[in-house]
Every structure is written in C-alpha cells, then in structure tokens.
Chain A
Amino acid sequence: MTAPHIPRAIARADEDAGRRPWPPKPGPGPGRIAPPLVPRAIARPFLAACAILAALPLLDLSLYTHNLLTRAYILIAGALAWNWMGGLVGQVSFGHAAMFGVGGFVAARMMLDVHLSPELCWIAGAIVAGVFALGAHPLLRLRGPYFSIATIGVGEASRVVFTYWERFTGGATGLSLPIDADFQYQLYWWALGLAAAVAAASVVIRRSSFGLKLLAIKADVDAAADVGISATLYQDLIFALSGAVVGLCGAMSASYNSFIEPNDTFAFERSIGFVLMAVIGGIGTSLGPALGAAVFVLVDTQLLASYPKLHLGIYGVLLIAIVLFEPLGLTGIGRRLMRRVRRPAPPVASPAERA
C-alpha cells in the first residue's frame, strides 16, 4: 500500500460502523442500510455550527478572520471531496490539483469571455473538472501506490500543459478576474454553503449503499466483483464527483483571489496539501479531513509570513507522529479522549467483593 499508515487507518476508520439492532427493521428503500441516513446526533450540532458560522460576519468579524475562514471553507470542501477517493475507495490521489486547476481556469475563462454570472461559471468549471476526472478512467485499473504514482504524473502533466497554453490560461502571468469587493465579501457564505453541503454529502455517502460498495471495493476489488459490484463503474462515479467538487473549490478560490495562475494552481504542493489535510484530520473518516483542513489553514497562515519554510517541517513532524501513533489523525485522538471520558478507569473491586 501507499504508506504504512493508510491500510491500518482504514481498518480502524470503520470500527464504529456497526452496533445496529437485530433483526434489521425494514426501511423505505432497497439501498438504505440504517435509516436515517444522517443521524440526528450529527445533524443538530452540525446545523447549529453552520448557523453560527453564517451569522459571524454580521457580528464584528475582522477582515483577517473573514479571509481566514473563507479560505478554510474552500479547503475543507476540497479535503472532504479528496477523502471520497482516498478514504472511501482507498485510492490515494496525488493529482487532485489538476481538477482544482481545471475547474478554476474553466470558470475564469467563462467569466472573462462569456460574461456569465460567477455562480454559473463555477458550475461550468465543476462539470468540466468532473469530466476531466473521468478522463483518469484508465488509471483506475491501478491500485495502491501504482495509482498514486500515476496521479502524480497526471497532475504534473496538467500543470505543464496549462502553463504553456497561454491563450487559455494567460501563461505564467495568469488571468485577472473582474470580481468586485462586495461579491468577494459575499463569497464567505458561498464557501460556507459549499463546505456544509460537501460535509453533509460525505456523511450521506458514507452511510448509503453507494458508500458501502465503495468500502467493499477498497477492501478487495476482486471479491467485490465476485458479489456483483462493478469496481470500474463506482470508482469512475466517485472520482468524477470528487473531481467536480474539487473543481468547484478551484473556481471559487480563483474568484476569491480575483486572480488565477497555472503554476500555483496546479502546484504539486496543492495535491500534497489535500493528502495532508485528510491524513492529519483522519483519512477515511467521514468528517475528519475537515478538521485537518482547518489545522492546515491555521498553520499555513500563521507561519507562512514569518517563517516561509517552517510549515513544511511542521507537517513532516505531524505526519510522522500520525503514522506512528494515531493512524486516524486528529479524529483518532478525539475518539480516544471520548472513550476515556465516557468509560473512566475500570472500577476497582470493592472491599466487600474482594472478601
């Protein structure tokens, strides 16, 4: 496998899947596993958190925090979508920057040449990025490290092609986008909406029959085929979905910066970034990568200005610690703490029992 932490992490990620009553109650649809798809225990705090975050700018929010949060939302959506592929199917992609860039440039071009509203341009970018991801269909025959290495190739090839395709991308000078300050400010809510939608989708996919099939494919492609699951079909589907969402993130990000440039957009560091966010947060867990993305943004913005290279060292140390001690990253640490809180130290036998 790709790295020692990944298979172990995945095995643990699914420990909490069970604990359901027997016999299972008949549900409304053939595909449903355990209705409801989104448990109330998750839905309520989630909606509350979204509401609070949405209300923040109406209160007194500094421009700095506003900017930080907007960037974080976009990366959260991207990291969660990456995790559909890397966590659910276990196909670790080091090339998601390609979809990020394709979505960004298609949306940018639409904005400059077709003059559609930004929202429509984003959607167009997302669709093209999804179709672009489908182009990776031949790669999906590969598994594990072979797939990962092939995605590095695709990512780098896209970077080079888009850098030299000056008529479309403006080359190394990039493209400036006509985004006014008001819309840039409003992007906060768009980005929050996207992150919330992708987070909800992550939970639903994980608990749906689709997610179950993806997990089966991750466990054993051949055995999955032997019970009737078409690995090709479902991997294509989820890769296209993941690519479309990451494309949408790229498009929003370009609008937010009102600028896009190939070398930065398609940078290998960006692809690695998605992997890091997922690993830090908890690869294969439904919402862990969101946590990872938040940490990523914090570390990045806090350190980039004063110590330009220090963040790389911090990621390195974090990665080693996670691989060695907690394959599920922050989510795993959180679960451990929860368990300790819920189940305090085993009760010592009382003197009466001992007697």
Chain B
Amino acid sequence: MALLQVRGLTRRFGGLIALDRVDLALGAGEILGVIGPNGAGKTTLFSLIGGSLRPTAGEILLDGRSVTRLAAHRRVRAGIVRTHQIVRPFANLTVFENVLVAAMHAHRSAAGHARDRAADVLELVGLADRHDQSPGALTLAGRKRLELARALSTGPRVLLLDEVVAGVTPAEALAFAQLIRRVRDERGVAVVMTEHVMPAVMSLSDRIIVLEYGKRIAEGSPREVVSDPRVIAAYLGSEAPAAGEAAP
C-alpha cells in the first residue's frame, strides 16, 4: 500500500479552482516530482498536504488513515512535514535552536533526545559549524539547508520540498540533489518535490506528475514525461515544434 495517498483533492479560491481532483500516490522511500508551469497548483497541493490549507473536497491518507482534518502541527506529528519556497527561519533563534525547536515536535517513532537529533541533522545538512549563528548570517543556500534541516529534525516519513533548489547556484543545486538523495537512501524518507530547475527534478525523481491549471495532465518516469506532447504543450504552447529543454 502506498505511504501517502491523495484522492480527488480539490481546492477552490472563490471562483478559481486552484486544484482540481488531483490523485497521487507515494510509495515508501520514493521521490516524486511535481512539475508544471507557474500557477499550476503546485504550492496549493503542498499546502493542502501539509495542512496549512483545507481542501474543498478530497482526501489525504497516510498509511491508509485519513489526515485530511488534522491541523498542520498535528500532521507533523503524524509524519508529514513541508518546507517553504521562500525560506522562513525563526530569525530570533540561532541555527541550532531553529532545528532544535522543530526536533521537539518529532514524529513519535523518532529516537533519542531532541538535542541529539537536532545536532545529527545539522551535521547531515552541513551546517554544524554555523550552529550558533543567526539565520540571517547564512547565505540563501545556507538558509535553504536550514529549512531542510528543520523539516528533517521532525523525523518525517513524508517530506514535502517546495522549490528547495530554486535560486541557488548550479553547484549548490547539485549539492542539494545529493543531499536529498542521501536523505531518502539513509533515512528512508519519502519525498514529494516541486521544482522549476528541471535538471534537479529530472535526475532525482523516480516518478513525475505534471500539473496544469490545477489538473494532473501527465504522470510517468522523467523520460516519459518530457516527451509527452501534453507536457510540451503546457510549457511551450501547442505550436511548439519539438521537445526541447522544458525549463520555463
């Protein structure tokens, strides 16, 4: 059975249907990419799964149990955690405290003391030497690492990464890709990621779903998806001559 299952998820904002009956399934230890043009509903999907928005219709199941009605902070305990596209560190805490405060609310299967887990995660993302600095002293890539560390320290089973690579240098993006793969391989965390940076999402994802205007228009392996005519049309317009690089 799939670890995370989303059935018929719909969200309206007034007359606008941001997300329209989207289904997806995520297996344990899988990395699922969610791509689509701007405004396709990727962030809405994340907010719905993460619990900061309520769906208009549809269901979200974790291990076959519905989490649709749980508040965001309770979903973290259940094992679903998200990161934000625009990083939101707690500016008044140090790097270590940022991670520690999240580790205190870990998923119940997480082992060890919060402090040990926080230290462990900081080592993993490579911020240990910055532990007593203010998040404001970090570079954007550093703050993105912190955002990832904070999410990881809650001991998630499903990690939702919203554009974690966007805006960093190509070298940093590569480092992030390796980090995400390590998180999956070493900790068995299943990942759902959205990304505009195509090389990152193409190389990392086991499977990709494509959203356009809130609807799921394609699903498959990265290779299948980029050659899908509907996907090319969504990104480049229907008159597009050939399947080029699908970066926006």
Q: Which residues of A contact B (CB under 8 A)?
A: 10-11, 13-15, 17-20, 22-24, 26-27, 29-33, 209, 212-213, 215-216, 218-220, 222-231
Contact = CB atoms under 8 A, between A and B. Distances in A.
B51 to A, nearest CB: 8
22 contacts: A14-B92, A18-B94, A18-B97, A20-B132, A23-B119, A23-B128, A24-B96, A24-B116, A26-B115, A31-B114, A33-B100, A212-B97, A212-B100, A215-B101, A216-B101, A219-B92, A222-B88, A223-B90, A225-B73, A227-B76, A228-B73, A228-B154
Interface of B: 50-52, 71-74, 76-77, 81-82, 84, 88-94, 96-98, 100-102, 104-106, 113-116, 118-119, 123, 128-129, 131-134, 150-151, 154
Contact of A225 (B52, B93, B106, B119): B52
A90 B100 CA distance: 20
A226 B81 contact: yes
Contacts, number: 125
B101 A226 contact: no
A219 B116 CA distance: 24
Nearest to B147: A223
Contact of A18 (B71, B76, B106, B133): B133
B96 A227 contact: no
B99 to A, nearest CB: 9
A282 to B, nearest CB: 14
Contacts of B132: 18-20, 22
A220 B52 contact: no
Contacts of B129: 22
Contacts of B114: 30-31, 209
A181 to B, nearest CB: 48
A26 to B, nearest CB: 6
A223 B146 CA distance: 13
B73 to A, nearest CB: 5
Contact of B90 (A13, A26, A215): A215
